[in-house]
Structure 1
Amino acid sequence: MATDAAANSGAGEVRTAIDAGALAEWMGTHVAGFNGPLGIEQFNGGQSNPTYRLTTPAARYVLRRKPPGAVLKGAHDVLREARVLRALSATPVPVAPVLAHCDDDSVIGSPFYIMALVEGRIFWDASFSQVPRRERAAYFDAMNAAMAALHRVDFAACGLADYGKPGNYFERQIGRWSRQYLEDELAGRDHNMDALVRWLPTAIPQGDETAIVHGDFRCDNLIFHPERPEILAILDWELSTLGHPLADFAYHAMMYRMPADIVAGLGGADPAALGLPTEEAYVADYCRRTGRSGIDDWNFYMAFNFFRLAAIFHGIKGRVLRGNAVSENAHERAAAFPRLALFAREAMDACWPRSARARDQI
């Protein structure tokens, strides 16, 4: 899945219809300082929750809505996103201010929330090639600091004690994605995935932690200051929940091993040559910020995240073969599945203390 900045950035034609008159009337009552007329554009890109730029003569806003029509139970819960953003607004975690939310389907056809539009830059290239080489490490450091700040938040104190199911995160996640992989017979089996299904439940590190996790923390889900390496807002909280912070951090750090043609990443590149910290240095910075002496079993967390992403792409492959895939990139993602499974297997192999022959018997 190549990340195409030209295709995903900016806003234009409204693709998911919205009643501008009804929305303007509602905003006049519920959004402080709102005055029309109201202009509406829909952001480009692959947001599963339709997202719009709203413009008036004096202000600009962002609206995120649940897709109209029937959706899977629990999916596309934009009001849950609004809740976590409001809870985090009083913490050091950079988020856009939520101005209002609506759970009444009769206004525009589905629930929605409105937040302030944060002006800044989004980088679609994990190497930050758009900024001078000497400045790139500072942008990485800003990402590292933002993620550490999120994981340090006292979720109970900010009203999110019930935001997810604490404890046994890896056991639950491995079980879920293993079942999805095994049950989709049309998409086929992969010997690396089969090995991971057997190995991952036996390799979960001891101890447990719970934090607010973002679930999709990548450079292209961040708004940076227009001129300096400062994150103004973290976007796309759809996958956020209570989970294990090291799962969340390792998902983010996959960028070091992820080829750029699958998801924005640095796989195959030399970070030092690009002016970026190494994977080891980046992990050390996160540990320093979160009070850790290090991360044992680091490759387990990598294997888990590549496995999880491979299982998602395996599901997309099944939908492609059934003819009901809706994503424009579905065929590319389906084709990338075995590569992701291989990356997961390589991380698993790096954990394995026995001989290659014993490992191959898994």
Structure 2
Amino acid sequence: MISRQEQFSGEEAPPAHLLLDLDRLAAYLAPRLPGMGRDLSATKFKGGQSNPTYRLAGPAGSFVLRRKPPGQLVASAHRIDREYHILSALAKTDIPAPRPYLYCADTDVIGSEFYIVEHVAGRIFWEADMAGCAPQERAAIYEDMNDILARLHAIDPGAVGLGDLARADGYAARNLMRWSSLYRQAELTPIADMDWLMEMLPRHLPKTEEICFIHGDYGLYNLIIAPNEPRISAVLDWEMATLGNPLIDLAHHLRAWWDLPDAGLAATSLVGADLPSLGIPAMDDYVARYCRRRGIAVPDMSWYLAYAQFRYAAMVQGILKRAADGTASSRVMVHSQDRVVRIAAMARQSLEQLLARDGADTVRSPRI
């Protein structure tokens, strides 16, 4: 069976609904990106399910174009302009991210908004166990990944022009409401556990929360690793970045440790793996390292993990809805409706364990 690494690595010809008008694009870029010329070629990166991303090659070298998908989209999603603003702000920090060059709001050029950034050469690992790497290399990359997340959460948003990115309070409640709404918009079939989670998670919100700049989908699959050394060269996919709760960001980042193993291409899971022999830290150790770097006490992650699992189920449901509507970025659909059901059950179990431990009210709708 083909692996995630084989399926999602590299580039491909864009499918028909994502083809670029290269002549029109070249004419637009010529006066704005010096040296691009009119002899352009474009291939689409195979990975990713949200915003289509291409490598442009021309006389001036290689660049990356990231666009909003065509077609009817979920409200507030695919904010290409916002992502470009974030990349521009990150250029003032020590967080490795692609250098931004231009943003285009004119949908007549290629059919949707887009932006251009530098092309960063390197490796992307779609499997959390990083097959083919030595334990020492895995250990170094996981350590760098942990360090960058801690540094990202330490950014002063106001100092880099991101202070108005979102409200600076009430993130958990607002994000939960948003993803509940997005799930409802994408719902294809009723799932009792998702209904229960949307009822119970708001009842047990964190009593206090820190607010800082967060990535939203920080993971190995969104990192470019230097070609010949165990170092992160760029963090990708800033679509979901905002001002929010760093522990929610951390819980989502921990997905490789808690995600359900999948016989197909959907999951990049470390569940059941021999982590010491791989050179990969256990989840609790990884969390402790992050906390040491940030100078904070190790928290109880239970609610955050339950919420991250619920939100991930909602994200997968959104991918399935885009596929049903014909607007998915990737031509390969790796998820299934049953996967949403199983992730929701896992999230419910996580929250039920927390509530049982705390002796909290667990009155809820029954499973069906």
Identity %: 38
User: Within 5 Å, which residues of 2 pair with 1:309-348?
Assistant: 309-314=312-317, 324=325, 327=328, 332-348=335-351
1:361 is displaced (CA, Å) by: 4.8
* Alpha-carbon separation, structure 2, partners of 1:229 and 1:330: 31
- Match of residue 13 from structure 2: 13
1:287 is displaced (CA, Å) by: 0.5
Deviations 1:167-198 (A, max 9, x none): 111112223444566788861232x4444334
CA-based RMSD: 2.8
SS of the equivalent of 2:158 reads coil
SS of the equivalent of 2:146 reads helix
- Match of residue 219 from structure 1: 220
- Match of residue 237 from structure 2: 236
SS of the equivalent of 1:105 reads coil
1:319 is displaced (CA, Å) by: 8.1
- Match of residue 245 from structure 1: 246
- Aligned partner of 2:68 among 66, 69, 74: 66
- Match of residue 141 from structure 1: 143
- Aligned partner of 2:163 among 161, 164, 168: 161
SS of the equivalent of 2:108 reads helix
Unaligned runs of 5+ in 2: none
- After TM superposition, the structure 1 stretch with the greater mean CA deviation from structure 2, 180-189 or 22-31, is 180-189
Number of residues paired by the alignment?
356
Given the alignment of the two structures, is residue 274 of structure 1 paired with residue 275 of structure 2, yes or no? no
Deviations 1:121-151 (A, max 9, x none): 0001101222112321111111111111111
SS of the equivalent of 1:75 reads coil
1:155 is displaced (CA, Å) by: 0.8
TM-score (norm 2): 0.87
1:212 is displaced (CA, Å) by: 1.8
- After TM superposition, the structure 1 stretch with the greater mean CA deviation from structure 2, 308-317 or 265-274, is 308-317
Indicate if the aligned counterparts of 1:258 and 1:267 stay in contact, CA closer than 8 A. Answer: yes
Unaligned runs of 5+ in 1: none
SS of the equivalent of 1:220 reads helix
- Aligned partner of 1:49 among 27, 48, 51: 51
* Alpha-carbon separation, structure 2, partners of 1:182 and 1:102: 31
SS of the equivalent of 1:106 reads coil
With over 3 angstroms needed to count, the CA separation of the structure-2 counterparts of 1:302 and 1:72, relative to structure 1, is: closer
1:250 is displaced (CA, Å) by: 0.8
1:31 is displaced (CA, Å) by: 1.4
- Match of residue 105 from structure 2: 103
Indicate if the aligned counterparts of 1:139 and 1:229 stay in contact, CA closer than 8 A. Answer: yes
Q: Name the amino acid aligned to 1:311.
A: A
TM-score (norm 1): 0.88
1:349 is displaced (CA, Å) by: 3.4
With over 3 angstroms needed to count, the CA separation of the structure-2 counterparts of 1:194 and 1:50, relative to structure 1, is: closer
With over 3 angstroms needed to count, the CA separation of the structure-2 counterparts of 1:346 and 1:69, relative to structure 1, is: closer
Q: Name the amino acid aligned to 1:281.
A: D
